[in-house]
Structure 1
Amino acid sequence: MWAFIHKLGSPKWFYAISARLTPWFWAAAAVLLVVGSVWGLAFAPSDYQQGNSFRIIYVHVPAAILAQSCFAALAVAGGIYLIWKIKLADMAAAVIAPFGAAMTFVALFSGAVWGVPTWGTWWVWDARLTSMLIQLFLYFGVIALRGAFASRDSGAKAASVLALVGVVNIPIIKYSVEWWNTLHQPATFTLTERPAMPADMWLPLLVMVLGFYCFFIALTLTRTRSEILRRESAKRWVRDLADGHAGGRR
């Protein structure tokens, strides 16, 4: 078990195995996002109360779910880096943070657009919206801390600590609609109950959620590979890889 964990933390091994996995995730993301978008925007029935304005759910909900998952992954990577000093975990965290911030912004923006026909306003200081805004600021803090220190290791440690502290905001986001009287609707998907909406509305949403996750994995693998090459540029295996690519172009 420990041998596998040690192997998994090897940048060289990760670079090699991710080369085989990345194309599959890119292909899955493309298929799922196209199918989910067409299904949800063109073929799913309109909502009996909101009409066609509800269709923004096919972007808003996947972005919101993924934004929280990214922060959880950020905290896990930060914990692994702090405890076991596995530098690959820090490379992944450096890649995840900007993407998670982007997904949080997409969730907030799409929610604001949805709020106009639903609530009659772009923004209310609703518990769910406010906790998501706090998450966006936490992402910004994690990103800023990485560049705030002369030492990369010090910046990585500070960012990891903030991610571990900030992860407490995730259950607040999730349960805010139950703990407080809010305008935001309850969760669309739960593990214990069937979705309230009909299958021809929630199935394309499920496809979109899966597509967003595949896109996240594909992008994380791709950008982590680039981060490995940047940080490990002095290593022999990276130089050999570069020489091999240069020789192949001749």
Structure 2
Amino acid sequence: MEQPKYRRIVLKLSGEALAGQQKFGIDPDVVNSIAEQVKEISLLGVEVAIVVGAGNIWRGIAGSSKGMDRATADYMGMLATVINSMALLDALEKIGVDTRVLTAIEMREVAEPYIRRRAIRHLEKKRVVIFGAGTGNPYFSTDTAAALRAAEIEADVILMAKQVDGVYDSDPMKNPNAKKFYELGYIDVLNKGLGVMDSTATSLCMDNKIPIIVFNLNVRGNIKKVVMGENIGTYVGGELNGQRHN
């Protein structure tokens, strides 16, 4: 049987991805589909950690732009990520996947507190680990949380699940002539201001040599394809070989 390319991954999901077509809240069908795809790669022996955003419920930066205290707005966003984490936990457990939610803000009644060694131990036992509440600090995005956790657990790669099939030089939803990138260096992402991750998260990945693969979550089976090393999406890293192409 073909072996996965990556042993331990961080899957970064946006909150909007969980909302599906309804654009707000949580669509159970979408969450169940993601859970089934995660189970598929877990059965291959891949150690899976997940970081999920909260844009389907609350965006801290949107609240602060309308006069709310930024730190308060960000903490609200962190709490919203825990709601999404619990939805994923429920979907995974219902299909027989042993899962744990670890939160950067302590809330023992619903989740375990984040402890790095405990997280790694869960992964070694082939449990799916969901990291909730971001980094536990305001002013940091869930992209940065994904980069930080990936560094801490020594993940092989960050899989950025998006609504498009890679990184483009402009919004492909608005510009039909947008050019897709198949390989990018970290510096390219930073210099060109490409919307892969925010600059803090990208810099953290660059400093720790963690590659990022941006791919389309809406195509079922893509998570497995990326884990198996298939040439889809956009690869962001320090070592580029020019072999990724259309």
- Answer with 1 or 2: which has the greater Rg: 1
More helix by share: 1
Global fold match (TM > 0.5): no
More strand by share: 2
* TM-score, normalised via structure 2 length: 0.29
